[in-house]
Amino acid sequence: MPAVVVDNLVKEFRRFQRREGLAGAVKDLFRRDYQALRAVDGVSFSIERGERIGYIGPNGAGKSTTIKMLTGILTPTSGEIAALGLSPHRQRKQYVRRIGVVFGQRTQLWWDLAVVESLKLLLQIYEVPRAEGEARLAKLRELLALDEFLHTPVRKLSLGQRMRADLAASLLHGPELLFLDEPTIGLDLVAKDAIRALLKRVNDELGTTILLTTHDLRDIEALAQRVMVIDGGKIVYDGSLEQLRDEAGEEASAEIELLEPASLEELRRLLPQVRFAQDNPLRLRAQFSKRELPAAQLLARLVGSLKVADIALPEPSIEEVIRRIYEKTGKSAMVAAKAAGGGAAAASR
């Protein structure tokens, strides 16, 4: 049986529309305008035990709203969630005992308590048997290197330390499911790497199922076996990371450094399938479709006809990949309109 089954999940919010200016503020005093907003719009998926899933999408796409429904914080407008055989919001107390949650933006710990006191209090709240709790705390202290700040109040921790403490708090009761909302936000590169390595270990060694949202696509590359992309409240992609790359990755590019300047016209005659651009006389960029022209063939033709110093074939970044997915699914207009700040523009494109 899957760990989580989500069926046609919908969440609607009502948003108060503030009017502009002084006259608008006076009007708001007497009558308010509301707009219904479908943050999550018919999402369905299932998660097997032990999976590591990356849940990505642009700002306001519905990621956090989905997580909050999965953790029992929000009650869905419609649709069903069965997680660990329970309904998160209906059987909240029973359910949250078996999950761990980390919100990168905000700590789950008590601001004024020392880390160790927070953790011990959590052990009591989750009613973890004493021996089990102590063993797990010892393990987490080692795994997360908590000892350097164990007796520091949470408000005095650095962001990286706080994230480690929060991770410890979320794992203390041995959860079967771990939800992370932007777990690496604001961290430096070293701290990010540490968190990623740790999450991988938790998944490998404890078999904890992990679902994380992120803006940092390196998190996804380092952690996710499976990627779900949400946009406009709908899942627009659900599959493996490799498949995601393949699907969007037919478009390739090459960066070519030359020893001697080459004429663009000549190149275009030689390789009509390729779009060339010139940064300077000794530096070219080429864009091509792998289906029309395998990369190896491109390399051979180039080396055969030019004095080449170096050729690089950069992998497409995931930002790029996701952008292409949006293009494929016809969501690009919406993304563009959102970036421009007007939802209404979507219809006209």
Structure tokens given for 242: 């490799």
Q: Which segments of 241-307 are extended strands (E)?
A: 251-258, 275-280, 283-289
Closer residue to other proteins (CB): 36 or 347: 36
Q: Determine if 159 is a binding residue for other proteins (CB under 8 A).
A: no
* Segment interacting with other proteins, rule: CB under 8 A, options 72-80, 210-218, 238-246, 336-344: 72-80
Give the residue, chosen from 74, 168, 230, 248, that forms a contact with other proteins under the rule CB under 8 A: 74
Q: Determine if 87 is a binding residue for other proteins (CB under 8 A).
A: no
CA dihedral 218, 221, 222, 225 (to 10 degrees): 150
Nearest distance from residue 94's CB to other proteins, in Å?
7
Q: Determine if 51 is a binding residue for other proteins (CB under 8 A).
A: no
Give the residue, chosen from 54, 58, 62, 72, that forms a contact with other proteins under the rule CB under 8 A: 72
Q: Determine if 92 is a binding residue for other proteins (CB under 8 A).
A: yes
Q: Determine if 130 is a binding residue for other proteins (CB under 8 A).
A: no
Say how many Å lie between the first and final Cα of the chain, rounded: 43
Give the residue, chosen from 7, 34, 35, 106, that forms a contact with other proteins under the rule CB under 8 A: 106
H helix intervals, 31-104: 63-70, 92-96
| Distinct helix (H) and strand (E) counts, the chain | 14, 13
Give the residue, chosen from 25, 264, 277, 309, that forms a contact with other proteins under the rule CB under 8 A: 25
Report yes or no: 184 and 194 within 8 Å, Cβ to Cβ: no
Give the residue, chosen from 22, 189, 296, 347, that forms a contact with other proteins under the rule CB under 8 A: 22
Residue 82 CA to residue 85 CA, distance in Å, equals 5
Q: Determine if 117 is a binding residue for other proteins (CB under 8 A).
A: yes
Q: Determine if 121 is a binding residue for other proteins (CB under 8 A).
A: yes
Q: Is 300 helix (H, G, I), strand (E, B) or coil?
A: helix
**What is the Cα 307 distance to its own chain's centre?**
43
Residue 140 CA to residue 205 CA, distance in Å, equals 13
Give the residue, chosen from 2, 13, 139, 297, that forms a contact with other proteins under the rule CB under 8 A: 13
Q: Determine if 89 is a binding residue for other proteins (CB under 8 A).
A: yes
Report yes or no: 7 and 44 within 8 Å, Cβ to Cβ: yes
Q: Determine if 77 is a binding residue for other proteins (CB under 8 A).
A: no
Closer residue to other proteins (CB): 71 or 209: 71
Where do we find the tokens 């989905």?
Answer: 66
Q: Determine if 58 is a binding residue for other proteins (CB under 8 A).
A: no
Give the residue, chosen from 61, 96, 116, 119, that forms a contact with other proteins under the rule CB under 8 A: 96
DSSP string, 91-126: THHHHHTTEEEEETTB-SS-TTSBHHHHHHHHHHHT
Report yes or no: 258 and 244 within 8 Å, Cβ to Cβ: no
Report yes or no: 38 and 9 within 8 Å, Cβ to Cβ: no
Closer residue to other proteins (CB): 176 or 247: 176
Residue 318 CA to residue 242 CA, distance in Å, equals 11
Residue 217 CA to residue 229 CA, distance in Å, equals 12
Q: Determine if 112 is a binding residue for other proteins (CB under 8 A).
A: yes
Q: Determine if 135 is a binding residue for other proteins (CB under 8 A).
A: no
Closer residue to other proteins (CB): 20 or 148: 20
Closer residue to other proteins (CB): 182 or 238: 182
Residues that bind other proteins (CB under 8 A): 13, 16, 18, 22, 25-26, 28-29, 32, 68, 71-75, 89, 92-94, 96-97, 101, 103, 105-106, 108, 110, 112-113, 117, 121, 124-127
